[in-house]
Amino acid sequence: MRNKADRRRWGDRRDAKLVRDIDSMHFIMPLMYPNRCDNEAFMSETIDLTNVMAYLEKKNAEGHEYKYNLFQIMVTALLKTITLRPQLNRFYANYNLYQRNEVTAAFTIKKIFSDSGEEALAFIHSKPEDTLDDIHNEIYRQVSYVRKDGKDQSTESMDLLQHTPLIFKKALGAGARFLDRHGMMPQSVIATDPFQSSVVLANLGSIKLHAGYHHLTNWGTTSLFCIIGDMKKRPFTDAEGNTEMRMSVEIGLTVDERISDGYYCSRSIALLKKLLSEPELLERPLGEKVEY
């Protein structure tokens, strides 16, 4: 039997609950700026990877078949940040503010690193008791499946729609946008749609590109996008003015500024940086609190 708090009430969606106790600003903003792309706030951070690299070296010395890497660390750190900072897991749809039921992450998998290599979609459903090991294993499972011979569920559905006669395509698009706004899209179509997740990640460092800005989309529900750039040594200066070259990575974060205020986002980034400076914390459950 479901708890009373888990029961779906009038106004809730299949994937989220309506936020009913909001202030006047959060009520007015979607009326004035209804599109997610009109409410983007972009932040850039340079992360010192000294402790992460030492942690990965120690972790991989244990002899795991599928090595631990920076991307898995980033996915887990973001999932833990969103779990502990739930306002990041909100979205606006059809002028209403919703709190998502799950904490999820999505990213694109390049099957083969070539100009003609196909892409597939990965979608991570996390639980509060998950740890870095759980996220590592799930990423390995999904990457292995699609690179071997499989397709994700959403791509299979899109392949079928691709062959729809031209006369129906505009109607299909309009109908899909209506269903999307009201949370009524068939699960088979959006099962691995990255823009239905808590956060979309783009690992541009894997293709030797720098981090930078990435827009949000009006389609779907994603209010947070994270770009991970290439790893390289950069200068860091301490309080005494001494400069040292350290391995680092730049990340770009784009957030729908309507879901929270600047202070909440600032504290959330502080938590993310704490987790990346002490990666051992990711061995603890995502729902376990962290002092920062």
| Secondary structure, 3-state, 118-129 | CEEEEEEEECCC
Collapsing DSSP to helix, strand or coil, 248 comes out as strand
Tens digits of residue pLDDT in 11-22: 999 999 999 999
Q: What pLDDT does 116 receive?
A: 56
Q: What pLDDT does 152 receive?
A: 55
Can you list the positions of beta strands (E) in the chain? 16-18, 40-48, 90-93, 96-100, 103-110, 119-126, 199-203, 224-237, 243-256
Q: What pLDDT does 62 receive?
A: 94
What is the set of domains in the chain, with CATH numbers? 4-148+191-283 (3.30.559.10)
Report the C-alpha gap between 46 and 227 in whole angstroms. 12
Report the C-alpha gap between 88 and 82 in whole angstroms. 6
Question: Which amino acid makes up residue 252?
Answer: G
Tell me the average pLDDT across 40-55.
97
Tens digits of residue pLDDT in 167-197: 677 777 888 888 888 888 888 778 889 999 9
C-beta of residue 286 within 8 angstroms of C-beta of residue 79: yes
Residue with tokens 């269903």: 179
Q: What pLDDT does 3 receive?
A: 55
- Among 83, 214, 199, 69, which Cα is nearest to 143's? 69
- Indicate left, alpha or beta for 263 from its phi (over 0: left) and psi (-120 to 50: alpha): alpha
Indicate whether 224 pLDDT > 50: yes
Tens digits of residue pLDDT in 94-141: 999 999 999 999 999 876 666 655 678 899 999 999 999 999 999 999
Report the C-alpha gap between 244 and 252 in whole angstroms. 23
Q: What pLDDT does 1 receive?
A: 46
Tell me the average pLDDT across 137-146.
90
- Among 86, 24, 79, which Cα is nearest to 267's? 86
Give residue 292's pLDDT band: very low, low, confident or very high (50, 70, 90).
Answer: very high
Say what the pTM is.
0.89
Burial of 130-161, coded b for 16+ CB within 10 Å and e otherwise, reads: bebebbbebbbebbeebeeeebbbbbebeeee
% of the chain surpassing 70 pLDDT: 88
